[in-house]
Copies of this chain bind each other. A is one copy, B any other.
Amino acid sequence: MSGNVFGKNFTVTTFGESHGAAVGCVIDGCPAGLKICEDDINADLSKRRPGNGDASTTRVEADVCEILSGVFEGVSLGAPIAIVIRNTNAHSADYAPLKDVYRPGHADKCWDEKYGLRDYRGGGRSSARETAGRVAAGAVARRLLAENGTAIKAWVSAVGGVEAPGFGEAGFLMEEIDGNSLRMPSKSAFEKALALVKKVKADGDSIGGVVSCRVTAPPPCLGEPVFRKLDALLASAILSIGAVKGFEIGAGFSSAALTGSQNNDAPLGLDLSANNAGGTLGGISTGLPLEFSAAFKPAPSIKKEQRAFCKDGSIRDISIKGRHDVCVCPRAVPVVEAMTALVLADLLLENRSSRL
């Protein structure tokens, strides 16, 4: 049931397994006339690329894309844009010992039950590598949004228990985000988090975290009042990223403890520290910045021994030897940005027909 297709207007289909020939996407519905080139996409891919951070896997992929269609003389045609990223550094042999083991916290067992067979090499379609296709599509969506003045910026707001200051709080530095390997908006938070990451890594373990995202100058009037609330579409987009277990927008879970008079934003919406709504009311974007966060569980692949089901029903102690992220959050930052871009681009195109 087209579970690899996202969006109704700016429609993206992703494809590819971790250790297959390639990953990629096809974008259907991108308006004609948008300037795009492979470098735009490669720039975003490089942020997601493995091998470039303290918390990252050591698998190294060039992650250079090829645009197969839909772009002519540097401009989109209004035709489908197919983008392919070849897999070049797959160490499939690492996974042979796991062929008949269901790794805890992974989809392995579910795949076998649902599909009857499975690509056991690196998670196959359930690998985080699948998100390269999303990031490629997101790069195009971001170009479209940029034409409207909209910018999307995500960062790691917590690693394990180490929290960075929130946007607008003392110590939050937007320019710091791209300056450290954990993509945190504060140098001191980064240093504490890095120490934690190193310790966890030494333990052969992994650690969870939180990614936050802020969209400035989002188009107003995106979303619809009932099932296609902007909040709902963002939540779905973000929860579709592997390892995400929670989503909140604006005041989020903390709004549950507030009164209406505390939580209602003042009409002018000028005080950014009080954007409790997070940029939407009744499911529709107000034009104020969109602000939301996603909780990522710790990566389930760890060296530390754990008990695991095997295909034959037995239970075994396993240690997972592949090249895994200690904390997925830094590399998830461009994926959160990409999914946000896909939602907004989709609604941007839809929105043009809301009134006579």
Q: How far is the CA of A9 from the CA of B352 in the complex (A)?
A: 11
B82 lies within 8 A of A24 (CB): yes
A210 CB to closest chain B CB (Å) equals 5
Given contacts A253-B245, A267-B307, contact A298 B115 (CB under 8 A): no
Task: Considering the complex, give the chain B residue whose CB is closest to the CB of A351.
Answer: B114
B17 lies within 8 A of A72 (CB): yes
Q: How far is the CA of A23 from the CA of B248 in the complex (A)?
A: 29
A119 within 8 A of B: yes
A353 lies within 8 A of B352 (CB): yes
Q: How large is the interface on A (under 10, 10 to 19, 20 to 34, 35 or more residues)?
A: 35 or more
A307 CB to closest chain B CB (Å) equals 5
Given contacts A161-B257, A200-B259, contact A281 B125 (CB under 8 A): no
Q: How far is the CA of A250 from the CA of B244 in the complex (A)?
A: 11
Other-chain contact of A17, B77, B111, B209 (Cβ < 8 Å): B77
Given contacts A77-B115, A236-B233, A356-B34, contact A2 B8 (CB under 8 A): yes
A61 within 8 A of B: no
B109 lies within 8 A of A281 (CB): yes
Q: Which of A181-235 contact B (CB under 8 A)?
A: 200, 203, 205-210, 220-221, 224-229, 231-235
A16 within 8 A of B: yes
A354 lies within 8 A of B11 (CB): no
B-chain residues with CB within 8 Å of residue A277 when the two chains form the complex: 105
B-chain residues with CB within 8 Å of residue A254 when the two chains form the complex: 295
A281 lies within 8 A of B235 (CB): no
| 0/1 string, A287-321, CB within 8 A of B gives 1 | 00000000111111110101111000001000000
Q: How far is the CA of A250 from the CA of B125 in the complex (A)?
A: 23
Ordered nearest first, which 3 A-B pairs have the shortest CB separation? A107-B282, A3-B224, A3-B228
Taking A3-B29, A15-B80 as known contacts, 6 extra A-B pairs with beta carbons closer than 8 A to each other, sorted by chain A number, are A4-B80, A6-B227, A21-B66, A77-B124, A205-B260, A255-B298
A-B contact pairs, 27 of them (CB 8 A): A1-B353, A2-B8, A20-B70, A22-B69, A24-B68, A24-B82, A72-B119, A77-B124, A84-B84, A104-B266, A107-B225, A110-B285, A110-B286, A111-B284, A114-B221, A116-B356, A130-B226, A207-B258, A210-B256, A240-B283, A247-B247, A256-B296, A260-B301, A263-B298, A267-B307, A267-B315, A276-B297
